[in-house]
Structure 1
Amino acid sequence: MRLHTKLMLGISVLIIIMGTIIEFTFKNIMETNLKHEIGTKALSVARTIANMPDIQSAFRTDHPSSLIQPVAEKIRKQVGAEFIVVGNRNEIRYSHPNPNRIGQKMVGGDNGRVFKGESVISESTGTLGPSLRGKAPIITGGKVIGVVSVGYLQTDIQKQVSKLQQKIFVATLFILVGSLIAAILISLNIKRAIFGLEPREIAWMYQEKHAILESIHEGIIAVDTAGRITVVNETAHSILDVPNDILLRGKKIEAVLENTQLYDVVRSGQAEYDQEILINGDVYLANRIPIFNKKSEVIGAVASFRNKSELANLLKELSHIKAYAEGLRAQTHEYSNRLYTLLGLIQLGSYKEAIDFISKEVDVAQGFIQFLMKEIPDPIIAGFILGKVSLASELKISLSIDRGSSFKDVPAEINRDRLVTIIGNLVNNAFEAVRESQNEEKRVSLFLTDLGKELIIEVEDNGVGMDGEIQNQILKPGFSTKKTSSNSGIGLSLAQKAINELGGYLTFTSTKGEGTIFTVAIPKRRAC
């Protein structure tokens, strides 16, 4: 049986049971109240008659019934009682609705307490049938001389109860019908709210969602429109430095993560991608996406966080591959041009010039390669620099390696990838600077030395240079003077991060319109 059917039947049965209980309870309450009301009324009438002087004086006459009967019958008709019986101490009737029973003994056996001076309400069976009675003693001179009994038949009371019960039944029936309709509507609404899913399907989806969230390497946090956290995974706990046993769900997002922009996403309904945010001293890239319901209304937002250093490592690897690819492409292009030149000389019959051209190219290439192999024996660094030289040639940039460079004494514990990151990003930055300049000769020079206790890397260019304002911001993550590149603003940041990891430092001098010199110093031995 499906969930909405169970809900409808369950609610319907519960409402029917409750309606039955309510009807039975109201019936009993109304019957009890009605009997109490009629009994109190009967007792009040009985006391009134018992205290009437005409009734009391009639007891001293020879024929009391002749005086009492007319008065009792008149009052009985006025109050709607079934009977009003006045009797003497011996329970002989002086009045009765049926005149033939006057002078006979009273029936019911409930006058004992009355003759002791008490007024009572009782239920008993008399000559007219079961009745509810109010009885009061007639007292003269401190003595009980008679009794007044005012009664209403139980059948009449039951008729009144039946009328009230019918009204209660009709009202209860309306309530039951309305409740059944409400139960159907509630069931259908719940069905729509849970997209027609069954409890087992919801449980499976919850477990599946939990497993997916925990398998994601990024931190995930979702909030509702009030900014309360609704979802948070273990990675987010780790990023926020909050133990997993501390419940974050239900807390306000600003109490957990300051300077969050999830509220902006909830208000605007616009997604934000790759936005930097500082969490516990580390830079993270955040993606924030609004959550919509079926009516396209924003009901919350979800944010994912990924440490920027992880992306930086990925970018570093990609930049290495890109640099190698660009170097090979540049060399291919450059050698194609030289081959065309050589082909032209041969076709013109200038064989001597062709031989001289080949000898010159071989000497230059071998000389530069031999210099690199001798002074920079590390194949990773040397190969990277060779690729940059080829790239510079294609870009029409003069990249020179200072002949006084030497990088032989590079300790094995210093990470080569970080050195390549530093050199590559500084050289790339210099390439960009000279390409933006108006100088006809675009020069970049690289100097490496391992003399002393530090490794020195120096990159100089004759590019556009920087003014004071730019110099104050150039090392900030994401800052760039280039407005068109989507990947700008991270090169120097990656270089700075690699320098910090190696325990070094970076300095630079720059003159607007003349160029820039970046100098990096890395200790060969880290202090313990």
Structure 2
Amino acid sequence: MRLHTKLMLGLSFLIMLMGGIFEFTYKNIMESNLKHEKGKNALAVAQSISNMPNIQEAFYTKDPASIIQPIAEKIRKQVGAEFIVIGNRNEIRYSHPNPNRIGHRMVGGDNEAAFKGKSAISESTGTLGPSLRGKAPIFYQGKVIGVVSVGYLQTDIAEEVSKVQKRIFMTTIGILLGGLLISLLISLHIKKAIFGLEPEEIAWMYQEKHAILESIHEGIIAVDTKGLITVVNETAHKILHVPNDILLRGKRIDDVLENTRLLDVVKTGQAEYDREFMILGEVYLANRIPIFDKRGVVIGAVASLRNKNDLSYLLQELSHVKAYAEGLRAQTHEYSNRLYTLLGLIQLGSYKEAIDFISKEVDVAQGIIHFLMKEIPDPILAGFILGKVSLASELKIDFSIDRDSSFIDVPAEISRDSLVTIIGNLINNAFDAVRENGKEEKKVALFLTDLGKELIIEVEDNGNGIAKDEAKRIFQEGYTTKNKNTNAGIGLCLVQKEIHALGGTITFSTNEGEGTVFTVAIPKNGGI
């Protein structure tokens, strides 16, 4: 059975139960009140009659009934009582609605209290049937000489209750019909609010949502329009350094994390992407997106937080791949040119020149490879530098490696990827610098040494140098003097981060119009 059907049936049953209880209770209250009211009226009439002098005096006449009967009947009709019976101490009737019963004994056996001088209300069965009676003693000269009994039949009371009960029943039916309509509307509203989903489906979706949120490596925080946290995943707890057992849901976002701008997004309804945000000394990239309901009204906002260092590592990996690709492409292009040259010499019959060309190229290539294998035995570093040699040849840049270089004693704990990032970005920057210098000679020199307690990396170029007003900002992320390179402004920032991570330092010296020298010192013991 579907949820909205259960709700409608449950609410309908509840309303019907309440209606039945209301009708039963109200009927009993009405019946009790009516009996009480009738009893009081009967007693009041009985007391009034017992105090009438002509009634009292009639008891001492030869025919009391002839005087008492007309008076009693007149009063009975006026007050609407079923009977008014007046009797003497022997319970002999002097009045009765049925004149034939005058002179007979009173029936019911409830005159004892009246003969003791007390007025009372009683229920008993007489000649006319079950009735509610008001009994009052008749005094004469301080003595009880008789009793007045004024009564209403129980059937008359039940008939009046029945009339009221019909009205109650109609009212109850109206309440039931209204309740059924309301229960239907409530069930339909709930069905619409939960998109027609069943409780089991909602529970499954909640678990699924929780699993998805926890599987995301980014921190997720959502708030409502009042700035109260509605969703926060485990990664966000770690970012905020808040244990998972501390409940953040329901707290104000400003009390947990300041300057999140989530409430600004709620107010403006405008999303913000890739905005830097500082949390506990670390830089995060934040995406802030408003949450809309089906009417297009903003009902909250959600932020995703990602550590900027994660993106930096990704950029490093991409830089390595790009560098390897450029090296391979340069080598392919360079050897293609040389093969074309060799092919031309052979076609011209210049076999001696072709042999000399081959010998020269072999000597140069073997010389560089032999040097790298001897002084830089690490295959990752050697292969990377060889790729840069080929790239420089393609770019017509005189790229030289100092023959006094030695990078043999490089500790295994120093990341080769970090060294590739440092050397590669410094060389790339040097290539870019000499290509823009406008000089005929474009020179870049690399020097590596592992002598002593530090690894020294030095890259020198004869570019235009660095202006004084730019020298303080060259390591800032995003800062660049290049206009065309969309990835500019990242290399030196990555270099500095990698060097600091290794416990090293980077310095540079420059002369405008003459060139720049970058020097890196990395301790072999990790800075310990």
Is the contact between residue 504 and residue 527 of structure 2 (CA under 8 Å) also seen in structure 1? no
Q: Which residue of 1 aligns with 2:81?
A: 81
Which deviates more, 17-26 or 213-222?
213-222
Q: Which residue of 2 aligns with 1:19?
A: 19
Letter in 1 for 2:36: H
Which deviates more, 351-360 or 419-428?
351-360
CA distance in 2, matches of 1:82, 1:513: 131
Q: Which residue of 2 aligns with 1:115?
A: 115
Equivalent position SS for 1:325: helix
CA distance in 2, matches of 1:81, 1:514: 131
C-alpha deviation, 1:448, in angstroms = 3.0
Q: Which residue of 1 aligns with 2:457?
A: 457
Q: Which residue of 1 aligns with 2:247?
A: 247
- CA deviation digits over 1:428-448, x for unaligned, max 9? 445556667777766554443
CA distance in 2, matches of 1:480, 1:55: 126
Which deviates more, 413-422 or 390-399?
390-399
Equivalent position SS for 1:113: helix
CA distance in 2, matches of 1:474, 1:165: 94
CA distance in 2, matches of 1:369, 1:90: 148
CA distance in 2, matches of 1:426, 1:42: 117
Does residue 190 of structure 1 match 2:178?
no
C-alpha deviation, 1:162, in angstroms = 1.0
Equivalent position SS for 1:244: coil
Q: Which residue of 2 aligns with 1:167?
A: 167
Does residue 384 of structure 1 match 2:412?
no
Specify whether residues 522 and 95 from structure 1 end up closer, same or farther in structure 2 by C-alpha distance, changes over 3 A only.
Answer: same
Which deviates more, 255-264 or 123-132?
255-264
C-alpha deviation, 1:399, in angstroms = 4.5
Which deviates more, 16-25 or 337-346?
337-346
Is the contact between residue 442 and residue 463 of structure 1 (CA under 8 Å) also seen in structure 2? no
Q: Which residue of 2 aligns with 1:316?
A: 316
Does residue 9 of structure 1 match 2:13?
no
- CA deviation digits over 1:187-213, x for unaligned, max 9? 333333333334444444444444444
- CA deviation digits over 1:213-240, x for unaligned, max 9? 4444444444444444444443333333
C-alpha deviation, 1:309, in angstroms = 3.1
Q: Percent same amino acid at aligned positions?
A: 75
Equivalent position SS for 1:381: helix
Q: Which residue of 2 aligns with 1:151?
A: 151
CA distance in 1, matches of 2:222, 2:487: 28
Specify whether residues 443 and 273 from structure 1 end up closer, same or farther in structure 2 by C-alpha distance, changes over 3 A only.
Answer: farther
Is the contact between residue 270 and residue 290 of structure 1 (CA under 8 Å) also seen in structure 2? yes
CA distance in 2, matches of 1:364, 1:374: 15
Equivalent position SS for 1:414: coil
CA distance in 2, matches of 1:440, 1:111: 143
Equivalent position SS for 2:112: coil
C-alpha deviation, 1:326, in angstroms = 0.7
Is the contact between residue 435 and residue 463 of structure 1 (CA under 8 Å) also seen in structure 2? no
CA distance in 2, matches of 1:508, 1:135: 124
- CA deviation digits over 1:149-202, x for unaligned, max 9? 322221121111111111111111122222223333333333333333344444
- CA deviation digits over 1:408-465, x for unaligned, max 9? 3322332222111222233344555666777776655444333432223334553573
Letter in 1 for 2:423: I
- CA deviation digits over 1:372-396, x for unaligned, max 9? 4444333322322232343344456
CA distance in 2, matches of 1:94, 1:515: 144
Equivalent position SS for 2:309: helix
Letter in 2 for 1:465: I
Q: Which residue of 2 aligns with 1:30?
A: 30
CA distance in 1, matches of 2:82, 2:354: 146
Does residue 135 of structure 1 match 2:142?
no
C-alpha deviation, 1:28, in angstroms = 1.5
Structure 2 unaligned residues grouped into runs of 5+: none
CA distance in 2, matches of 1:431, 1:303: 41
- Normalising by the residue count of structure 1, what TM-score does the alignment of the two structures yield? 0.84
- CA deviation digits over 1:12-35, x for unaligned, max 9? 333333322222222222222222
Specify whether residues 488 and 38 from structure 1 end up closer, same or farther in structure 2 by C-alpha distance, changes over 3 A only.
Answer: farther
The aligned runs of 1:280-359 (5 Å cut-off) are 280-341=280-341
- CA deviation digits over 1:64-98, x for unaligned, max 9? 55554444444433332222333344334444333
Letter in 2 for 1:35: K
Specify whether residues 153 and 177 from structure 1 end up closer, same or farther in structure 2 by C-alpha distance, changes over 3 A only.
Answer: same
CA distance in 1, matches of 2:477, 2:228: 31
C-alpha deviation, 1:325, in angstroms = 0.5
Is the contact between residue 224 and residue 301 of structure 1 (CA under 8 Å) also seen in structure 2? yes
- CA deviation digits over 1:306-325, x for unaligned, max 9? 43333333332222111010
Letter in 2 for 1:420: V
Specify whether residues 55 and 338 from structure 1 end up closer, same or farther in structure 2 by C-alpha distance, changes over 3 A only.
Answer: farther
Provide the aligned C-alpha RMSD in A: 3.7
Is the contact between residue 273 and residue 286 of structure 1 (CA under 8 Å) also seen in structure 2? yes
Is the contact between residue 96 and residue 102 of structure 1 (CA under 8 Å) also seen in structure 2? yes
Specify whether residues 508 and 346 from structure 1 end up closer, same or farther in structure 2 by C-alpha distance, changes over 3 A only.
Answer: same
Structure 1 unaligned residues grouped into runs of 5+: none
Which deviates more, 504-513 or 302-311?
504-513
C-alpha deviation, 1:359, in angstroms = 5.7
Which deviates more, 327-336 or 224-233?
224-233
Specify whether residues 34 and 430 from structure 1 end up closer, same or farther in structure 2 by C-alpha distance, changes over 3 A only.
Answer: farther
CA distance in 1, matches of 2:480, 2:140: 118
Specify whether residues 284 and 98 from structure 1 end up closer, same or farther in structure 2 by C-alpha distance, changes over 3 A only.
Answer: same
CA distance in 1, matches of 2:155, 2:424: 109
Is the contact between residue 342 and residue 354 of structure 1 (CA under 8 Å) also seen in structure 2? yes
Number of paired residues? 527
- Normalising by the residue count of structure 2, what TM-score does the alignment of the two structures yield? 0.84
C-alpha deviation, 1:350, in angstroms = 6.8
Specify whether residues 108 and 414 from structure 1 end up closer, same or farther in structure 2 by C-alpha distance, changes over 3 A only.
Answer: same
